[in-house]
Amino acid sequence: MLFAEYRRLILLTEGALGVFSSKTATSVIRYRRDDVVAVVDSQAAGQSLEQILGIGQGIPIVADVAEAMRFKPDALMIGVAPVGGGLPAAMRIPVVDALREGLSIISGLHLRLRDDPELAALAEAHGAALCDVRDPGPVRRVAFGLARSLPVKRVLTVGTDCSSGKMVTSLELRAAAIRAGLDAAFVATGQTGAMIEGWGTAIDAVVSDFAAGSAEMLIERVHDRQICFVEGQGSIEHPGYSGVTLSLLHGVCPDAMIMCTCPTRQYHDKRDDCPIAPIEQQIQLYESLTAPLHPACVVGVAANTAGLDDAEANRRIAALAERTNLPACDPIRNGVAPLLAAVRAELHI
């Protein structure tokens, strides 16, 4: 059974439930609402998921796996993506409990659950599967700009920081493009995107020499589609993840880019010694880095204004549009119509 085939999921967020702190869970609830039967989080048990995340109305938050079993789940999905990618200590007990109940575990952690002897033994004893979605397998492909020669048009989301809405923007653009009659694909480049879409590669888990090559291979899978919206990763100035970002940029060879940003954020990962460079400077960097291989422009700005009231959000979005001289909107708050229009104008489709 492939990980995408489980249809009665428990999402485990133990102690981390929140729009950003459990972004995997947030996105799975947003895009696979009907496949989620419960959230397990002892710190938030009994509260309203909709009040915490703004989505997920009617999905119960329970304290532990035992309580979640009455919703007849078929798998437990780990709903966080912590820095470093290890299994958070607080999540070990619920994972063990789930395995003892025979539930399969779907994980996007860097740590491979099947390399954990205790978990592997429990899974075998109880007939459960350990699905390590982030494991890219033994890929060994070096990129040489081959994506440029494929007929599919490629739109990459890039960002001023990680967790700025790149996956959501790509998914919303794909949906809007299909509604507009285009033959549009979504290309997942991270574990959450793959959990939602059922296929993809977590580029950040690929050996760095082959990260761009893996991206190139993903584009080959959609080569005969009209347009694809590729989920970006990290940020070109992020001290830890910039290499992943650039591998993706050169592996995908986008025809157009959408810049995603959280306008209230000033620092990478809340570290006040890692300032986020001004958005117009970053747009110039992304464009400079595409120029020799396959020139592409940033054609719109997607603002993640979660947590702001409408007036403040609109003020921030207007300021971004003025600074960048590009169409700007919040894909969740406003939809993506201005961004799709900018993409279509740029690509003549």
Q: How distant, in Å, are the alpha carbons of 105, 133, 134, 147 from that of 108?
A: 10, 5, 5, 26
Based on the shown chain and the rule CB under 8 A, indicate whether residue 267 belongs to the binding site for a second copy: no
CB half-sphere exposure, 149, CA atoms < 13 A: 5
* CB of 139 vs a second copy, minimal distance in Å: 10
- Residue from 49, 59, 122, 203 touching a second copy (CB under 8 A): that is 203
Nearest CB to a second copy, comparing residues 73 and 190: 190
Based on the shown chain and the rule CB under 8 A, indicate whether residue 295 belongs to the binding site for a second copy: no
CB half-sphere exposure, 68, CA atoms < 13 A: 31
- Residue from 178, 207, 319, 337 touching a second copy (CB under 8 A): that is 207
Based on the shown chain and the rule CB under 8 A, indicate whether residue 88 belongs to the binding site for a second copy: no
* Residue given tokens 């991270």 in the structure block: 190
User: Could you tell me which of 242, 247, 215 has the C-alpha nearest to residue 230?
Assistant: 215
- Residue from 26, 189, 247, 324 touching a second copy (CB under 8 A): that is 247
- Residue from 50, 118, 124, 209 touching a second copy (CB under 8 A): that is 209
**Where does residue 51 rank: exposed (0-12), middle (13-18), buried (19+ CB within 10 A)?**
exposed
Binding mask 146-185 for a second copy (x = CB under 8 A): --x-------------------------------------
Token digits of residue 271: 């570290």
- Residue from 51, 208, 266, 325 touching a second copy (CB under 8 A): that is 208
Token digits of residue 91: 């999540």
- Residue from 142, 180, 337, 345 touching a second copy (CB under 8 A): that is 142
Separation CA 77–CA 64 (nearest Å)? 14
**Continuous segment of H or E residues that includes residue 335:** none
Based on the shown chain and the rule CB under 8 A, indicate whether residue 55 belongs to the binding site for a second copy: no
Q: Which residues bind a second copy (CB under 8 A)?
A: 83-86, 110-111, 140-145, 148, 203-209, 211-213, 236-251, 268-269, 271, 273-277, 281, 285, 288-289, 291-293
